[in-house]
Structure 1
Amino acid sequence: MAIHVTTRKLLALAAGTALLSSLPLGVAAQGAADFPNKPIELVVPFGAGGGTDVLARVIAEAAKKHTSQAITVLNKPGASGGIGLTEVALAKPDGYKIAMVTAEMAIIPHLGIMKPMPDDFTPIVRLNADPIVLTVRAEAPWNTIEEFVEAAKKSKDPMKFGNAGTGGLSHLSAEALSQKIGTSFSHVPFQGNAPAVVALLGSHIDAVTSSPSEVSTYVNSGKLRALGVFADQRFKGVGFEQVPTLKERKIDLSMGTWRGLAAPKNVPADVMEKLSGIFIKAANEPAVQESMEKQNLGYSVVDGATFRKQIMADSALFKQLIDKLGVK
């Protein structure tokens, strides 16, 4: 009799297993039903203190209203963002490790710095978009972009430009400028634009190309001077309204950056839907918009699908630029 009971139990278990395997993956795994049930790691592929890091911490704080779990911000700088991005691309696709992504995501794969390409990620949301701005010390002898260009062409030694790492947007934008004006710069890499700005303040370098948010505090305090914006139109952020575009000064160059969130590819669709809901709601919090405005981060929220289109388009554009400039 005991054998028959055991047999019936085994048959029932087998039938249940078969039924479970026939259900959709999300139901069988029950992974999204209680997602998230532990803290989410948000990897920032740059050092602390820069515009990307600041935005990551603001959005993580705002997300507390929309999830019961903490969003833990981890800085993983190096290789122009390649170290942190590679870690996330190779992470388990369960939604618990995501990345703060920037335009470098569409650049550095073409430099051979990292293997993951943009299509190795699933975009969650774009948070902002900014132009590049050229900044020098307030006491520097150049008051206009024309004076800076003239000095760069006449200088015995190349102007020293700080950047967030070779091949990053700050490097490429300075390199593109040197190509446009027919001279060369000496590029000094740092682990992020924040230490590059510190070096500029300390007179160790001559200029920095960065997003406005990374220099706005010093521009508004009178310690740094913005000479030109790499954009089709002037940037309306506080302290930059009067800064001309390069195109106004007959330099045909427009480049910008963006920041957003992305997960590894193959994260289940239902988990992605929850991640999107959490972070789009967080991005729409008034506190986030106010913080971004104070830091001169251009507020520009779009969903993951729209963000993906921009990433792929920029990837093609930057590949063309990298091949043309020969900066691999």
Structure 2
Amino acid sequence: MHRRAALTAVLLATSGLAAAQATFPTRPITMIVPFPPGGLADTVGRPVAEAMSRNLGQPVVIENRGGAGGGIGLAAAAKAPPDGYTIVMALSSYSVLPEADAIIGRQQMYSYQALRPIARFTADPTVLAVRADAPWKTVKDFVDDAKKRPGAINYGSSGNYGTMHVPMEILAQNAGIKMTHVPFTGAGPAIVALLGGQIDAVSTGPATVLQHVKGGKLRVLAHWGNGHLEALPNVPSLKDSGYNAEYAQWSGLFIPAGVPEPVAQRLRAAARAAGNDPKVREVIGNAGSPVMFQDTPDFEKYVQDDVRRMHDVVHKIGKVE
């Protein structure tokens, strides 16, 4: 009798889970954006959330949780129940922070295994932006000044080892210069500080600064990619300027590991529909970051490769307090 009751309970639980997965979602979904408003993750996350809401038939609500170069929001997503009702729009700091924690000797905020890649939306080289009234007209002017005045030029970032810190350290290593790093909670606050004269420069995605460039408030000296940027075609790459410095700031959707496969596939389908949505592509493209969508299998491989690349970069940067 007890065995039959236990079997009945298991069957009921299994059928209940299957039914829940088949009807997913039945309530709003939270999309954590691990940075304050105004940065790339937020710029991408909002139109994607809106498109996914239409596809899923439930609201996808943005929750900005900035700090630690994206680590606070990523940790919250990693610890969330694996039911599909918490997702996260991560940036490429995802590939750096666990290894950085190990270098610092700090408990890892999350592990690579705790989050599952679902879809990539953008992959842009970062750009070196300064105020329009700054004395530097070219990246050579910037580097030459930094060599003459070690530590005098300061730059803002979204936090230690974040997507705005790492590319500047790559440039510093390759150009043989020293700058002063000023961490903020995200790109938005860093851009405000740049516009206000509290810092001298930032490295960030084109979408974060394009409106200020068009408005005559900021100037972009170079970018960390190859060739020309669609949004800023006249801006040279650092490689063109003689510096062996490359870095891509990507944005992508992750879910907690352990989300049931039918639910994961439902979210994947909604993300794919958002990535192909003409309105989403227009909004993100107009902001300065053309959509470069990758579905789950390709994005998983891209992330694995990026983690390997960033491992060496982080160890070259070393311990940052």
Give the TM-score taking structure 2 as reference length. 0.93
Cα 1:15/1:308, change in 2 over 3 Å? closer
Q: Give 1:291-302 correspondences, 5 Å limit.
A: 291-302=283-294
- The equivalences for 1:79-98 within 5 A come to 79-98=68-87
Q: What amino acid is aligned across from residue 187 of structure 1 in structure 2?
A: H
Contact 1:65 1:282 in 2 (8 A): no
Distance 1:18-1:188 versus aligned 2 partners, 3 A rule: closer
Distance in 2, Cα, partners of 1:18 & 1:42 = 32
Q: CA shift at 1:157, angstroms? A: 4.5
Q: Which has the larger radius of gyration?
A: 1
CA drift at 1:15: 6.0
Rounded Cα–Cα distance in structure 1 between residues aligned with 2:296 and 2:150? 48
Change (3 A) 1:196 1:15: closer
Secondary structure of 1:33's partner? helix
Q: CA RMSD in A?
A: 1.9
- Tell me, in whole angstroms, the C-alpha distance in 2 between the residues paired with 1:15 and 1:137: 69
Instruction: Tell me the SS of whatever aligns to 2:174.
Output: helix
Query: Could you tell me the percent identity over the aligned residues?
Result: 36
Which position in structure 1 is the counterpart of 2:95?
106
Paired with 1:26 and 1:82, the residues of 2 have a C-alpha distance of: 37
Structure 1 pair 325–184 and aligned structure 2 pair: CA distance change class (3 A): same
Question: Residue in 2 aligned with 1:36?
Answer: 25
- In 2: Cα distance, 1:256 partner to 1:135 partner: 15
Matches within 5 A, 1:131-146: 131-146=125-140
Letter in 2 for 1:55: V
In 2, Cα distance between equivalents of 1:28 and 1:194: 41
- Deviations 1:5-42 (Å, cap 9, x if unpaired)? xx9xx998666446557xxx577543311100010000
Question: Any conservation in 2 of the 1:125–1:301 contact (CA below 8 Å)?
Answer: yes
1:119, CA displacement in angstroms?
2.3
Bigger shift: residues 34-43 or 12-21:
12-21
Aligned to 1:202: 196
Query: What's the offset of the Cα at 1:158?
Result: 2.4
Provide the C-alpha distance between the structure 1 equivalents of 2:171 and 2:63, rounded to a whole number of angstroms: 33
Q: How many residues align?
A: 315
Deviation at 1:248, TM superposition (A): 0.7
Q: 2:44 — aligned with what?
A: 55
- DSSP 3-state at the match of 2:220: strand
- Which of residues 264, 269, 273 in structure 1 aligns to 2:261? 269
Check if 1:46 corresponds to 2:35: yes
Matched, 1:211 2:205: yes
Contact in 2 for aligned 1:123/1:307 (Cα 8 Å): yes
- 8 Å CA contact 1:61–1:71 kept in 2: the answer is yes
CA distance 1:28–1:63, change in 2 (3 Å): closer
Whichever residue aligns with residue 73 of structure 1, its letter is I
1:286 aligned partner: 278
Q: Which residue in the other structure is 1:252 paired with? A: 244
Amino acid across the alignment from 1:124: I
> After superposition, what is the alpha-carbon deviation per residue over 1:94-134, rounded to whole angstroms, capped at 9, x for unaligned?
00011111101111111116332222111111111110100
Matches within 5 A, 1:165-184: 165-184=159-178
Structure 2 vs 1, CA of residues 248 and 182 (structure 1 numbering), >3 Å: closer, same or farther? same
Task: Extract unaligned runs of 5+ from structure 1.
Answer: 1-6
**Aligned equivalent of 1:67:** 56
Q: Which sections of structure 2, spanning at least 5 residues, go unmatched?
A: none
